[in-house]
């Protein structure tokens, strides 16, 4: 019985680093996507000059790509949202980005509570 308990603890411990890496990546993807949506909203309103908006879009998309590669579970819901975000054009409407941000927030919360 004690051996089974030790094995279970070892198994949980082995999963923790991957889960922590995914949590960190999901947070990064969500944050970058939220910033991207904000930049696009403000650009639509004419509140940002094009070079600044383009630079911020590029930075957000690069961060999403970097964090996507850091995911340990490449077939997870978080990875699917990251892939969908990467498929959007740089000037995508905020309304196309925000549903992914909300879904990633739910995934992030679930990972934090487990």
Over 50: is that where the pLDDT of 3 sits? no
The answer to whether the CB of 67 falls within 8 A of the CB of 28 is: yes
pLDDT band at 18 (very low <50, low <70, confident <90, very high): confident
The tens digit of pLDDT for each residue in 67-86 reads 999 999 999 999 999 999 99
The 10 Å CB-count burial string (b at 16+, else e) for 12-47 is eeeeeeeeeebbebbbbbbbbbbbbbbbbbebeeee
pLDDT band at 114 (very low <50, low <70, confident <90, very high): confident
The answer to whether the CB of 78 falls within 8 A of the CB of 25 is: yes
- For the chain, the C-alpha Rg in angstroms (whole number) is 17
pLDDT of residue 25: 98
What average pLDDT does the segment 2-7 reach?
A: 40
């Amino acid at each position: 019985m004690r051996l089974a308990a030790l094995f279970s603890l070892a198994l949980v411990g082995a999963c923790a680093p991957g889960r922590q890496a995914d949590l960190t990546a999901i947070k990064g993807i969500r944050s970058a996507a939220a910033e991207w949506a904000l930049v696009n909203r403000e650009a639509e309103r004419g509140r940002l000059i094009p070079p600044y908006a383009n630079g911020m879009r590029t930075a957000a998309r690069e961060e999403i790509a970097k964090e996507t590669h850091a995911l340990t579970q490449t077939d997870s819901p978080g990875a699917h949202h990251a892939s969908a975000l990467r498929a959007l054009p740089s000037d995508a409407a905020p309304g196309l980005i925000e549903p992914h941000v909300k879904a990633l927030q739910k995934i992030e919360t679930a990972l934090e509570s487990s």
